[in-house]
Amino acid sequence: MTKPDRPTILVINGPNLDMLGTRQPEVYGHDTLADVEALCRTTGDAAGVDIDFRQSDSEAEIMGWIKQARGSAGGILINPAGFTSTSIAILDSLLIYDGPIIEVHISPLFRRDEFRHLSYVSKAATAKIEGFGIDGYACAITRLAKLAGA
């Protein structure tokens, strides 16, 4: 249960991240989404924040979560995955949000396909981490906890 005195960090995972561990392990590693969630919760506990951890393949669902976070979540960690380079709609939802946002990518996009280099989400992000594997989630939560005043 969420304690009112601890900020909540909303962690949003985009399309196909439910397949981590199985999906292209040479690119994304062998950790599963459950491992990522456990890492986020352990890191959040140590940093004094609660974690609201979600995954969706639906752009509309992700947009709804971002809009609900306004005025309630202390920060957003988002791995937009396949929506990174396509979704102006998710960017617009993030621009409505009133707290810090960290964009995380497991793989190093800077040396992957050219079409992955563009991120609309970055235009709303406070910071961005890519190529750290799933450890990027832990770095982002530690930073968001600090920015949220935990």
- Interacting residues with ligand DHK (CB under 6 A): 16, 79, 81-82, 84, 105-107, 109, 116
Out of 30, 97, 105, 137, pick the active-site residue.
Answer: 105
Q: Which is nearer to ligand DHK, 51 or 129 (CB)?
A: 129
CB of 108 to ligand DHK, least distance (A): 8
Residue with tokens 């929506």: 83
CB of 150 to ligand DHK, least distance (A): 25
97 tagged catalytic: no
Q: Which is nearer to ligand DHK, 63 or 78 (CB)?
A: 78
Q: Which is nearer to ligand DHK, 140 or 150 (CB)?
A: 140
Q: Which is nearer to ligand DHK, 116 or 146 (CB)?
A: 116
Question: Among residues 82, 39, 66, 73, which one has the least CA distance to residue 145?
Answer: 73
Element (H, E) at 10: strand 8-13
Give the CA distances from residue 10 to residues 58, 118, 141, in Å, rounded to whole numbers and listed in that order.
Answer: 17, 24, 10
CB of 128 to ligand DHK, least distance (A): 12
Residue 104 near residue 78 (C-beta atoms within 8 A): yes
| Pairing of the two strands 50-55 and 101-105 | unpaired
CB of 42 to ligand DHK, least distance (A): 20
For 112, residues 6+ apart whose C-beta sits below 8 A from its C-beta are 27
CA–CA gap between residue 24 and residue 13 (Å, rounded): 17
105 tagged catalytic: yes
Catalytic center residues: 28, 105
